[in-house]
Structure 1
Amino acid sequence: MQRFFLLAATVGSALMMLGALGFQYIGEMAPCKLCYWQRYPHLAAIGIGILALILPVNALLYLGAAAALTTAGIGIYHTGVERGFWQGPTTCTSGPIGGLTPEQLMEQILGAPLVRCDDIPWELLSLSMASWNAIASIGLACLWIAAARSKS
């Protein structure tokens, strides 16, 4: 049963990455800074899953759960930024432009990122991609924990 949960968690992160890349390259929705941040723990989880298949060390399974919970946390943070609950990274959201000289304003405009973290480019059932990532990643963390607690 442990191997089943491990494979499900690893494949789950791989599918999340394929989905993200599909939205980026097929759906032409460029990712923002926080979107990229959510991808890194999925990549780590995939690597951990492959390693755990080779080296059956239980600690790796908890490390996989930590990776899934990390991307879930970033997804929750990103959802809060999208919904205006809190401010995101200053390099990722728009802010006031008052008090700038014309040169500073032009520099800010030219240096601004193309994709903002506080925009929601796609929703399903009133939930953004960041929200769905958080929900799915919590489920993946449960699979990792189930793998760690089950017998081989």
Structure 2
Amino acid sequence: MTTPIADALAPSRARLTPARLIAAVALGGAATIGGALFIEHVLGVKPCELCLVQRIPYYAGVPLAVVAAWAAARRPRHLLTAALIASVALVFLVAAALGGYHAGVEWGLWAGPSDCTGPVTKPAAMGDFLKQLQTTKVIRCDEVAMRIFGLSLAAWNFVIAGGLALVAGYAAWRTRAR
């Protein structure tokens, strides 16, 4: 015989409902994009083009995760709920792939986009050079702007988004596996 307190303290798969899992994904995604915006606007670390592209899945994935959590709380075994949660997993899988691609560019494993990597081209004349200085501010994609515990922000995005994709995938599996 168990008591309500023992039941509440005991680890249980039943408490890992799809609604709770996908709500955790929404919170984790929101915290991640909030951290990126904090690093940019408060700490002054300017993002490169690839950094900005990596944010797009979060802008889509967090609201989608909120809708999926709401659906999972109302109809946990519904096919549409499973499809919504699987979509969230796919969005964060794309975010992880973008982070991995950018980290590979930073480590020199492959070339990045030509507009933010590679050598700076020499202008033909001094007037062209001054015009370039006034109109262009390139943040390089192949240089690490900030490291946290030895990993670049792109590498952290790979780790975090990959984790969020795994949790969302597990939630989708739990939705259909019941």
Identify the TM-score tier after normalising by the shorter chain: 0.7 to 0.9
For 1:90 and 1:65, the matched residues in 2 are separated by: 30
> 1:54: Cα distance to partner?
3.4
Letter in 1 for 2:42: I
Structure 1 stretches of 4+ with a deviation exceeding 6 A read none
* Whole-angstrom CA distance in 1 between matches of 2:58 and 2:44: 21
Show the counterpart of 1:75.
Answer: 99
Q: 1:146 maps to what in 2?
A: 170
Which residue, out of 155, 159, 163, partners 1:135? Answer: 159
Structure 1, unmatched stretches of 5+, are none
Deviates more, 1:109-118 or 1:128-137: 109-118
Normalised to the residue count of structure 2, the TM-score between the two structures is 0.76
The residue type paired with residue 26 of structure 2 is T
Question: Distance between the aligned counterparts of 1:77 and 1:9, measured in 2?
Answer: 22
Given residue 138 of structure 2, which amino acid in structure 1 is its aligned partner? L
- In the alignment, is residue 49 of structure 1 matched against residue 65 of structure 2? yes
Q: Cα offset for 1:108?
A: 5.2
Larger Rg: 2
Correspondence for 2:144 = 120
Change (3 A) 1:105 1:87: farther
Q: CA RMSD in A?
A: 2.0
Which shows bigger deviation, 104-113 or 129-138? Answer: 104-113
Does residue 35 (structure 1) correspond to residue 51 (structure 2)? The answer is: yes
Give, as a single letter, the amino acid of the residue that structure 2 aligns with 1:114. V
The number of residues matched between the two structures is 152
TM-score by length of 1: 0.88
2:84 paired with 1:60: yes
- In 1, distance between residues paired with 2:44 and 2:133? 23
Q: Which of 20, 23, 38 is residue 36 of structure 2 equivalent to?
A: 20
The structure with higher relative contact order (CA 8 Å, sep 6+) is 1
Corresponding residue number in structure 1 for 2:14? none
Q: 1:3 aligns with which of 12, 16, 19?
A: 19
| Aligned counterparts of 1:80 and 1:115: Cα–Cα separation in 2 | 17
